[in-house]
């Protein structure tokens, strides 16, 4: 039998211990304190909460509006408190014993009838390192399935694969946040820091005050673009061409760093041959940007003594996202702007543990520490840590959206979802909804009733950021320990406890016995030892004493590396690699679907909105979804401000309210991703994936619009 859970015990740290935590949302992982105070309203005393930023090296004591209100969803009356099982079509409460027995029984049945690959596991980048690591082990050891992937596929895969190919290593920022003010020119491409990592803006403002030029590449004049010296208002989907044009100007004006290219890179001759065919004016026309502005931006970057390029989902969520990033990296390498203070490349990580979540085995082809599931030595090493035969580990599976296709085809029959809301966040959401309906058995572990949980056969209540201790790795590659500060509500369990209990019920308990999160972390340290993302030298004790530790950190005596690639890159020969490949660019709009639909985020909501839509202070600021469109576009389609409109693509349609704004391109519509159901923008996004990394082309779809 599996263990019956006891009430939580939770450790305190710091001087005002009961309050110390970390914001559950974005990749900055601001340290905050959430303190229960009581207040008196109309003579009635009731609990209220006081939230403050806590000083630390990354967020420097800042917190944004989401972090300040995150406790509202965590303390919401809709928090799931008991397991729920579907009986006669309804989700009704059941005991944990029933829930675990049901999962184990159904999984065993499916596996016996159709083989273990009929089981799928789908994880997320909000999970702690401990849970993400254990989920990978759970899929391979407890279930024996090859099919595991996670929502970070939609987030980090293009930049991650570009980092691996170019540098031999993928870590969000190759520099420290503290290096940003030392840069004299900063290119922010497809990243809206002001709304998506708001507490980082002061770093860029400090750089500007010290004389840096800020160049923003975005189809919209975002709050980030408003802070720029130069805003290149690009046509969506054409970043690769823009990166080429910038490099062409740098080359024409003799601003490349020959010594750096000679001593530290490979592939420059091929790049030269490729660049000979690039024409700045042709590229500019394709991007819809004035050639003069491209030249000005290129000169600013090429002539600056130090400089950085940061990209995020605007560049990356494209079917040529991997190569678009690599062409920006060509620019970084050709100008020698990496491996020293004030220089480098940054893929601005998204989710709270977007970085750590991608390092320890949630990905279809990956084992802990960035090891490869297809490499014999890697398999043997991890199998030895896990105490299993290397031959028992399955091979690689498929990417997140491809898993949904396999569900649709009936290949995957049971799905276990932990920390994601795939019905809203996958592209081509209508197909995904159809697929999930066809499953024999769907289990969702969540703290709230998400759109996906609503479809499940079994819903498992989990602890939130305030209740679940664990480590998360922020966008800099800095590992941080988040202590638990409140007891679990009702019967909610930690994610990792759930995995251990199911494993126990499946007869694999001996591989999954841990006293606490720290014990899992200690196994993770060992499993990652000698890998690229080496966490071996990081311990809970050190994390409590120090302000977070950068990986790679191979020994407990060493500090981690903040600034990467000072003397060499991570490829075996120590060199970085240029690319001269051209991506499968998007086909573009057509007569039937004449507008470009792009999408993304607003300040007040987070991802599919399951959490932030339940926070009264946040929901009050943006209640429903909308489309941003240019006044001329609105006029052309006879749309007034605030009207309901229908947006249709070849793949599906959704309905939102119009918001007329001059700050967007005339050929482009922008819709946030934070709402589900009929307002879900992903009902109209397309299924095509980047062949290099399987990132969907979220940011470009051909659509038409009409008023309702």
Ligand X SMILES: Nc1nc2c(c(=O)[nH]1)N[C@H]1C(S)=C(S)[C@@H](COP(=O)(O)OP(=O)(O)OC[C@H]3O[C@@H](n4cnc5c(=O)[nH]c(N)nc54)[C@H](O)[C@@H]3O)O[C@H]1N2
Q: What is the binding site for ligand X (CB under 6 A)?
A: 26, 124-127, 151, 154-155, 189-192, 195-197, 217-220, 222, 234, 236-237, 239, 312-315, 317, 350-351, 418-422, 424-425, 445-448, 450, 462, 495, 598-601, 603, 605-608, 610-611, 670, 673, 681-682, 685, 698-699
Least Cβ distance, residue 679 to Mo ion (angstroms): 19
Q: Please tell me whether residue 465 binds ligand SF4 under the rule CB under 6 A.
A: no
Cα–Cα distance for residue pair 393/137, rounded to 1 Å: 10
Q: Which residues touch 143 (CB under 8 Å, ≥6 apart)?
A: 107, 111, 116, 119, 121, 506
CB atoms within 10 A of CB 85: 18
Task: Give the up-direction half-sphere exposure of residue 136: CA atoms within 13 A in the CB hemisphere.
Answer: 35
Taking CB under 6 A as the binding criterion, the range among 20-28, 246-254, 294-302, 489-497 that sits at the site for ligand SF4 is: 20-28
Least Cβ distance, residue 165 to ligand SF4 (angstroms): 29
In three-state secondary structure terms, 479 is: strand
Pick what 570 binds: ligand X, Mo ion, ligand SF4, none; C-beta below 5 to 8 Å, kind-dependent: none
Q: Which residues touch 529 (CB under 8 Å, ≥6 apart)?
A: 369, 535, 536, 554
Strands 701-707 and 644-649: antiparallel
Closest to ligand SF4 by CB, 134 vs 200, is 200
- Site for Mo ion, residues 142 to 181, rule: CB under 5 A: 155
Bridge partner list, 85: 92, 458
Least Cβ distance, residue 42 to ligand X (angstroms): 33
Closest to Mo ion by CB, 155 vs 618, is 155
Least Cβ distance, residue 638 to ligand X (angstroms): 25
Taking CB under 6 A as the binding criterion, the range among 25-33, 177-185, 246-254, 441-449 that sits at the site for ligand SF4 is: 25-33
Cα–Cα distance for residue pair 163/166, rounded to 1 Å: 5
Cα–Cα distance for residue pair 25/601, rounded to 1 Å: 13
Among 67, 152, 361, 554, binds ligand SF4 (CB under 6 A): 67
164 neighbors 328 (Cβ within 8 angstroms): no
Least Cβ distance, residue 624 to ligand X (angstroms): 16
Closest to ligand SF4 by CB, 67 vs 172, is 67
Question: Looking at residue 3, what DSSP letter applies?
Answer: P
Pick what 360 binds: ligand X, Mo ion, ligand SF4, none; C-beta below 5 to 8 Å, kind-dependent: none
Q: Please tell me whether residue 66 binds ligand SF4 under the rule CB under 6 A.
A: yes
Closest to ligand X by CB, 256 vs 499, is 499
Q: By C-alpha distance, which of 214, 157, 207 is closest to 177?
A: 207
657 neighbors 641 (Cβ within 8 angstroms): no
In three-state secondary structure terms, 173 is: strand
DSSP string covering 322-364, please?
HHHHHHHHHHHHHTT-SSSTT-EEEE---BTTTTGGGTSS-ST
Helix axes 268-276, 321-334, angle to 10 degrees: 110
Taking CB under 6 A as the binding criterion, the range among 59-67, 148-156, 279-287, 445-453 that sits at the site for ligand SF4 is: 59-67
Taking CB under 6 A as the binding criterion, the range among 26-34, 244-252, 523-531, 589-597 that sits at the site for ligand SF4 is: 26-34
Least Cβ distance, residue 130 to ligand SF4 (angstroms): 19
Among 23, 247, 283, 500, binds ligand SF4 (CB under 6 A): 23
Q: By C-alpha distance, which of 700, 618, 601 is closest to 651?
A: 700
Pick what 682 binds: ligand SF4, ligand X, Mo ion, none; C-beta below 5 to 8 Å, kind-dependent: ligand X
Least Cβ distance, residue 490 to ligand SF4 (angstroms): 26
- In which element (H, E) is residue 599 found? strand 595-600
Least Cβ distance, residue 521 to ligand SF4 (angstroms): 21
In three-state secondary structure terms, 417 is: strand
Pick what 651 binds: ligand X, Mo ion, ligand SF4, none; C-beta below 5 to 8 Å, kind-dependent: none
In three-state secondary structure terms, 405 is: helix
Mask: binding to ligand SF4, 175-204, rule CB under 6 A, as x and -? Answer: ----------------------xxx-----
Closest to ligand X by CB, 494 vs 508, is 494
DSSP string covering 353-376, please?
TTTGGGTSS-STTEEGGGEETT-H
Bridge partner list, 35: 50
Q: Which residue is nearest to ligand SF4 (CB)?
A: 67
Q: Please tell me whether residue 64 binds ligand SF4 under the rule CB under 6 A.
A: yes
Cα–Cα distance for residue pair 420/126, rounded to 1 Å: 8
Cα–Cα distance for residue pair 439/442, rounded to 1 Å: 6
Cα–Cα distance for residue pair 176/614, rounded to 1 Å: 34
Pick what 261 binds: ligand X, ligand SF4, Mo ion, none; C-beta below 5 to 8 Å, kind-dependent: none
Q: Please tell me whether residue 353 binds ligand SF4 under the rule CB under 6 A.
A: no
Cα–Cα distance for residue pair 151/327, rounded to 1 Å: 25
Least Cβ distance, residue 64 to ligand SF4 (angstroms): 3
Among 136, 181, 307, 350, binds Mo ion (CB under 5 A): 350
CB atoms within 10 A of CB 675: 23
Least Cβ distance, residue 63 to Mo ion (angstroms): 20
Cα–Cα distance for residue pair 394/66, rounded to 1 Å: 40
- 670: preceding bond cis by omega (within 30 degrees): no
Least Cβ distance, residue 583 to Mo ion (angstroms): 21
Q: Which residue is nearest to Mo ion (CB)?
A: 350
Closest to Mo ion by CB, 213 vs 420, is 420
Size of the site for Mo ion (CB under 5 A): 2
Pick what 142 binds: ligand X, Mo ion, ligand SF4, none; C-beta below 5 to 8 Å, kind-dependent: none
Q: Please tell me whether residue 343 binds ligand SF4 under the rule CB under 6 A.
A: no
Least Cβ distance, residue 68 to ligand SF4 (angstroms): 7
Q: By C-alpha distance, which of 600, 639, 601, 634 is closest to 618?
A: 601
By CB under 5 A, name the binding residues for Mo ion: 155, 350
């Amino acid at each position: 039998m599996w263990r019956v859970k006891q009430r939580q015990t939770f450790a305190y740290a710091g001087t005002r211990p009961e309050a110390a935590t970390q914001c559950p949302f974005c990749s900055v992982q601001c340290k905050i304190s959430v303190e229960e105070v009581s207040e008196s309203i109309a003579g009635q005393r009731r609990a209220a909460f006081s939230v403050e930023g806590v000083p630390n090296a990354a967020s420097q004591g800042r917190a944004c509006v989401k972090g300040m209100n995150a406790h509202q969803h965590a303390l919401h009356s809709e928090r799931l408190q008991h397991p729920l099982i579907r009986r006669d079509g309804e989700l009704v409460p059941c005991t944990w014993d029933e829930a675990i027995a049901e999962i184990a029984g159904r999984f065993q049945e499916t596996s016996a009838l159709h083989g273990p690959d009929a089981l799928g596991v789908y994880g997320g980048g909000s999970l702690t390192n401990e849970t993400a690591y254990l989920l990978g082990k759970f899929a391979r050891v407890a279930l024996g399935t090859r099919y595991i992937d996670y929502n970070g596929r939609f987030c980090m895969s293009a930049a991650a694969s570009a980092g691996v190919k170019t540098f031999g290593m993928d870590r969000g920022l190759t520099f420290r946040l503290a290096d940003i003010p030392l840069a004299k020119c900063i290119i922010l491409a497809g990243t809206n820091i002001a709304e998506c990592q708001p507490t980082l803006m002061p770093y860029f403002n400090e750089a500007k005050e010290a004389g840096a030029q800020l160049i923003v590449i975005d189809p919209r004049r975002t709050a980030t673009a408003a802070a720029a010296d130069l805003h290149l208002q690009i046509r969506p989907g054409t970043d690769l061409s823009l990166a080429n044009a910038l490099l062409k100007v740098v080359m024409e004006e003799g601003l490349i760093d020959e010594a750096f290219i000679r001593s530290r890179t490979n592939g420059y001759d091929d790049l030269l041959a490729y660049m000979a065919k690039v024409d700045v004016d042709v590229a500019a026309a394709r991007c819809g940007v004035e050639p003069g502005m491209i030249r000005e931006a290129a000169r600013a970057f090429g002539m600056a003594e130090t400089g950085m390029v940061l990209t995020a989902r605007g560049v990356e969520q494209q079917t040529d996202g991997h190569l678009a990033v690599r062409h920006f990296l060509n620019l970084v390498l050709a100008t020698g702007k990496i491996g020293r203070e004030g220089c480098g490349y940054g893929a601005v990580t998204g989710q709270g543990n977007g970085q750590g979540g991608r390092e320890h085995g949630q990905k279809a082809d990956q084992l802990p520490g960035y090891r490869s599931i297809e490499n014999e030595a890697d398999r043997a090493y991890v199998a030895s840590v896990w105490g299993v035969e290397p031959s028992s580990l399955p091979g690689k599976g498929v990417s997140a959206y491809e898993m949904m296709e396999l569900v649709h085809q009936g290949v995957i029959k049971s799905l276990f979802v932990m920390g994601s809301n795939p019905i809203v966040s996958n592209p081509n959401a209508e197909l995904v909804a159809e697929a999930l309906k066809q499953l024999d058995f769907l289990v969702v572990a969540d703290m709230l009733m998400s759109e996906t949980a609503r479809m499940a056969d079994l819903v498992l209540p989990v602890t939130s950021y305030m209740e679940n201790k664990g480590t998360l790795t922020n966008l800099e590659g800095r590992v941080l320990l988040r202590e638990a500060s409140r007891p679990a509500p009702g019967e909610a369990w930690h994610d990792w406890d759930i995995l251990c209990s199911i494993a126990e019920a499946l007869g694999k308990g001996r591989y999954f016995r841990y006293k606490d999160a720290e014990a899992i972390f200690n196994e993770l340290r060992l499993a990652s030892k000698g890998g690229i993302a080496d966490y071996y030298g990081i311990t809970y004790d050190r994390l409590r004493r120090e302000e977070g530790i950068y990986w790679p950190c191979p020994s407990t005596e060493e500090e981690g590396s903040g600034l990467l690639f000072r003397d060499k890159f991570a490829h075996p020969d120590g060199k970085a690699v240029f690319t001269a490949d051209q991506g499968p660019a998007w086909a573009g709009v057509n007569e039937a679907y004449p507008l470009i639909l792009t999408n993304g985020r607003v300040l007040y909501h987070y991802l599919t909105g399951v959490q932030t839509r339940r926070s009264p202070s946040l929901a009050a600021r943006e209640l429903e979804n909308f489309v941003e469109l240019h006044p001329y576009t609105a006029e052309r389609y006879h749309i007034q401000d605030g009207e309901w409109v229908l947006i249709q693509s070849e793949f599906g349609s959704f309905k939102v309210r119009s918001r007329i704004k001059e700050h967007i391109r005339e050929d482009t519509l922008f819709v946030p991703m934070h709402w589900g159901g009929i307002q879900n923008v992903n009902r109209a996004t397309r299924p095509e994936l980047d062949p290099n990394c399987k990132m969907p082309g979220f940011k470009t779809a051909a659509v038409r619009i009409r008023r309702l």
